[in-house]
Structure 1
Amino acid sequence: MNLQECLEEYKDLTLKLIESVQASEELTLLIEKRDNTLKRINEIKFEDDELKRILSSLKILELDDELIDLVSKEKVATKEKLDVLKKSRTARKNYTSMPNNPVIFSTKL
């Protein structure tokens, strides 16, 4: 496989990853395929100018930036969901651990 073909495969996998992130689908298999493609690209002997030319013609760098932005947005959204779950778990734990006699009403002012 030559450099052009490997980079086209990398681009296709990146596009599939973008679609999967948007659809909240499983990413593990696609990430592994993309990693294997990167390993194959590293094994190929090529000139830096050739790589830059192909990367710009296929717009791979823009796609990578888009994927990074999507993943970071999903990461933030997931973190917010986890924070909400943590707060609700803490509130539930505190309410269930309260004694039957509220302490507020039994104190003297």
Structure 2
Amino acid sequence: MTKLRNSVGERIRAIRKAKGLTQQQLAELSGLDDAYIGSVERGERNFSIDTLEKIVGGLDISFSDLLLIYNDEDQQQDTVRRDATVEYISILSELDSEQIKTLRKILDTLKGAFD
């Protein structure tokens, strides 16, 4: 059971970081203590479904997003893309339109480097 608890905790941490949240911010959003969030992320806590529901609500994700299991490389790649998208949307929400235009130019240049 510890392996599953660790996997869920690692996934919570990855999503939290992708969204640019600290443990304290997630704790506030989910109505839990920040030390508790840390122990869940490290797989140290047995947590209830009710607690998991609070964390999922704080992260503003679905249970299926949280419980993604990597069956193959394609699924893992999709998850990496989804996590990056969440992170980039969070960053974009803090930028004005001129900054977004500049960022798009930079991304176009970077994309060309991979072709």
Larger RCO (CA within 8 A; separation ≥ 6): 1
